[in-house]
A and B are shown apart, each in its own frame.
Chain A
Amino acid sequence: MKKKLDHDEVREVALLARLELCDKEVEEFATQLSSILGYIEKLDELDTDDVEPLAHSLPINNVFREDIPHECLSRDKALGNAPDADDEFFMVPKILDDNSNG
């Protein structure tokens, strides 16, 4: 499966990734990603039908602790790096327009 990404596919992936690419970037990424994916097809040389996937090199287990309240990040610190905040909340632009009836 020689995979070539066309410009529309690149734009679709960019939307999924929430990246607003300019036309030049779309063109560059179409070429570069196609070339990288072409190389990655090397993996198809291997028969992996009977191989278990390995997501992690170690067994991963949940780590539990007693449900005891403890000190956490203060609101001031948590809001300290926000691009926009008031005394209590992160501020973002309006999501719904004024005519929306919910």
Chain B
Amino acid sequence: MSDNILSLSCKQLCDKILAKEITSVEAVEAVFNNIEKFEPKVGAYVSFDKDRALGEAAKIDKRIANGENPGPLAGVPVAVKDNMTTDFGTTSCASKILAEFKAPYTSTAVSKLIDAGAVIIGKLNMDEFAMGSSTENSGVKQTYNPWNLDCVPGGSSGGSAAAVAAQMCFASLGSDTGGSIRQPASFCGVVGLKPTYGRVSRWGLVAYGSSLDQIGPLSKDVTDAALMLNVIAGDDKRDSTCVDESIAPVNDYLCDLDTPIDGLKIAIVPEFIESASDEVAAAINNSIEVYKKQGAEIVEISMPHFEYAIATYYIVATAEASSNLARFDGVRYGHRSDDIKSYIDVYSKSREEGFGQEVKRRIMLGTYALSSGYYDAYYLKALKVRNLIRKDFTQAFEKADCIIMPVSPTTAFKVGEKTQDPLQMYMADIYTIAANLSGVPAVSIPCGFDGENMPIGLQILGPSFQEDKLLRVARMYEANSGIEYKKPAILD
């Protein structure tokens, strides 16, 4: 019974809970059975609270017994990345500096999940402050890829992807600043959606790069991604960068999801596909064939400024991070050093002890780029190139409805393989970063496996605020790819 429950999607589970075929308490119990079995190996969670989750599930079951409909995620166990505040448990950002932090309020995105009937299981591991591509920068623990425990799950939302893949929750929330939802989704064989910048409230998301950060779902399939987006999308007066719905209406992302798009035009940049590993390139080319069979027209384009995205990102994101992380000063919350001799030690020593190496490296880089004498050469230059990268997208979407490309040049790499050379780690973000610089939505969906049985992801990018179309394109692949559904060997 428990196995059957766990293989359901959010949508299927919710339908069964509302039909009183399964209770939310049973679903939560099933999830915690899997957590007991696999969490010691996978390490996806920073914290969880079984008693609290069972209590919330029982309340949902009671409401359903009373004839209420708690919402589109009624009774569904989900988990969230540990950089979204919750007024229960801790919100650590996988950092020692926030190890004991108990947020006094719940982030908007998580509140919306709860209001839709979801049961929050716990908080998921990540690279510290979302800075990384492998979850190896977590200050708490390493997360391992459920498909091969020697490999990384990707990052920074590595826990969010691994937990969905190992069926230790039905769906999760991650955040994406340079690929941090899409790349781990790709490495762990799940669906990961980065919505348009401004589509989902960032209120209560601990800021990394404020002009780039966006919350989105990781799920088993495209339908669940649409369902989750339905719940979390929308304006929020507490986030001034959230877009007014009168300008960009929130659609029902589920209603036309299964309707293929007639006359679909897909753009590809041939050299982006060629520059990926052979197996990734082959999988992307196979997916192009799947679209062609459904009548899609493939348009070859060039995006001449794309190759500058990594250099641009590591100035813009670190500059914003150096400013955002100035708030961790050892005064109002977070770690304070015991070794204080002068007032400046309160800042310098607390930060030295509390932050990990990658966070320090990025704060240093951002501080340098913004410092007197270097601002024009680095920060201003990067903002100008950012505009050129956005123009590449504007021009692409004049020729096609969407662009497809790999998510990552390779499948999941081994733990420890890239930790010695930060620049090599940054290079792995080549395909994902430009969407954040431009604000456009992008989704990663599973599109096959390499020779080692590791998942490969297909990335689809669309015009701003057209997630409805983007998800329909993703669904067209999912419904017609003929790829056999596999689950990680660890689950057998």
A and B form one complex: yes
Residue of B nearest to A21 (CB): B352
Total A-B Cβ pairs within 8 A: 162
Tell me the dominant secondary structure on chain A's binding face. loop
B107 at the interface (CB under 8 A from A): no
Closest Cβ of chain B to A28, distance in Å, is 8
B439 adjacent to A58 (CB under 8 Å): yes
- Neighbouring A residues of B241 by C-beta, 8 Å: 56, 58, 60
A33 adjacent to B355 (CB under 8 Å): no
B346 adjacent to A93 (CB under 8 Å): yes
Task: Enumerate B371-394 residues with CB–CB distance to A below 8 Å.
Answer: 371, 377-378, 380-388, 390
Task: Enumerate B344-382 residues with CB–CB distance to A below 8 Å.
Answer: 344-349, 351-352, 355, 357, 360-361, 363-365, 367-368, 371, 377-378, 380-382
A43 at the interface (CB under 8 A from B): yes
- Neighbouring B residues of A32 by C-beta, 8 Å: 361, 422-423
B344 adjacent to A18 (CB under 8 Å): yes
B340 at the interface (CB under 8 A from A): yes
Closest Cβ of chain B to A3, distance in Å, is 9
B449 at the interface (CB under 8 A from A): no
- Neighbouring A residues of B387 by C-beta, 8 Å: 51-54
B437 adjacent to A40 (CB under 8 Å): no
Residues of A in contact with B, size category: 35 or more
From A15, A43, A84, name the one whose CB has the most chain B CB atoms within 10 angstroms: A43
- Neighbouring B residues of A19 by C-beta, 8 Å: 348, 351-352, 355, 360, 363-364
Closest Cβ of chain B to A78, distance in Å, is 7
B315 adjacent to A65 (CB under 8 Å): no
Tell me how many residues of B have a C-beta within 8 Å of chain A.
71
The complex places the Cα of A13 from the Cα of B343 at a distance, in Å, of 19
B102 adjacent to A46 (CB under 8 Å): no
The contact string, 1 if C-beta is below 8 Å from chain A, for chain B 186-202, is 00000000000110000
Known: A19-B351, A83-B330. A42 touches B364 (CB 8 A): no
- Neighbouring A residues of B385 by C-beta, 8 Å: 43, 46, 48, 51
B347 adjacent to A33 (CB under 8 Å): no
B364 adjacent to A51 (CB under 8 Å): no
The complex places the Cα of A1 from the Cα of B376 at a distance, in Å, of 14
The complex places the Cα of A58 from the Cα of B349 at a distance, in Å, of 38
Q: Please give 16 more A-B residue pairs, beta carbons under 8 A apart, in addition to A25-B357, A44-B381, A82-B332.
A: A13-B368, A17-B367, A19-B351, A21-B360, A32-B422, A42-B311, A43-B382, A51-B388, A56-B241, A57-B439, A57-B464, A81-B101, A81-B104, A83-B331, A83-B334, A90-B331
Residues of A within 8 A of B (CB): 1, 5, 10, 13-21, 25, 29, 32-33, 35-37, 39-46, 48, 51-58, 60-63, 65, 73, 77-78, 80-84, 90, 92-95
A-B pairs, 8 with minimum CB distance: A57-B439, A53-B383, A83-B336, A81-B333, A54-B387, A48-B384, A20-B348, A18-B347
